[in-house]
Chain A
Amino acid sequence: GESVGLHLPTLSVQEGDNSIINCAYSNSASDYFIWYKQESGKGPQFIIDIRSNMDKRQGQRVTVLLNKTVKHLSLQIAATQPGDSAVYFCAEYTYNQGGKLIFGQGTELSVKP
């Protein structure tokens, strides 16, 4: 069956350091892989996505890497700030499935000042 999961449940970093959050997936047929951020008491918020035929995509302070050989997705956050503290979910999207997102388990990122 399809599944998207995360390697580590918690990650603690010092403010200003770079953060790397990892995700493993098993459905090679997914068309997009996405990172969402969920702050305490809020709904998930889109961060960045990557199409399955790409291996890297950069946004503002974030970079997503996709390694299809080992079915691995990562989110890199540069110069991590206290406002980055949240739970990060990877998710997968496949065309013609009504727009549904399949979320992984989540990694809690804690930024120490």
Chain B
Amino acid sequence: EPEVTQTPSHQVTQMGQEVILRCVPISNHLYFYWYRQILGQKVEFLVSFYNNEISEKSEIFDDQFSVERPDGSNFTLKIRSTKLEDSAMYFCASSLQEFDTEAFFGQGTRLTVV
């Protein structure tokens, strides 16, 4: 069964450092998303991406964040200068169409900023 894969599973970084979280969405999907979940809290939308551009982004997704689809399979989230409050589980998701309520989520990358 096709699945969304994320690497690494856990990333520890020092405050102020740049991190890149990587995702391989399901191959025939066209819409890609990043969500984050602070421990014990709800899942929060960060950004959606389609046709090599951002479709929608939340207030959380400020200038420190960027997304990229560098090739035909990978989808990345970059945080330029990490802050302590960026510590969270980051989930990549993909869907076949924008109008799909069923998004397929990866296992997540736990980002710890120290």
Contacts and interface: CB of A to CB of B under 8 A. Distances in A.
Interface in A84-113: 89, 93, 95, 97-106
B97 to A, nearest CB: 8
How many chain B residues sit at the interface, stated as a range, is 20 to 34
Interface in A62-97: 89, 93, 95, 97
A89 B48 contact: no
Given A98-B48, A99-B99, A44 B42 contact: no
For the side of the interface on A, what is the size category? Answer: 20 to 34
B108 A43 contact: yes
A46 B102 contact: yes
Given A43-B91, A43-B93, A43-B108, A99 B42 contact: no
Given A43-B107, A99-B100, 12 more contacts: A32-B101, A41-B107, A43-B93, A43-B106, A49-B102, A89-B43, A99-B50, A99-B97, A100-B45, A100-B56, A102-B45, A105-B41
28 contacts: A32-B101, A34-B101, A38-B43, A42-B107, A42-B108, A43-B4, A43-B105, A43-B107, A44-B91, A45-B105, A46-B104, A89-B42, A89-B43, A97-B56, A98-B54, A98-B56, A98-B98, A99-B31, A99-B48, A99-B50, A99-B95, A99-B97, A99-B99, A99-B103, A100-B45, A100-B48, A105-B42, A106-B42
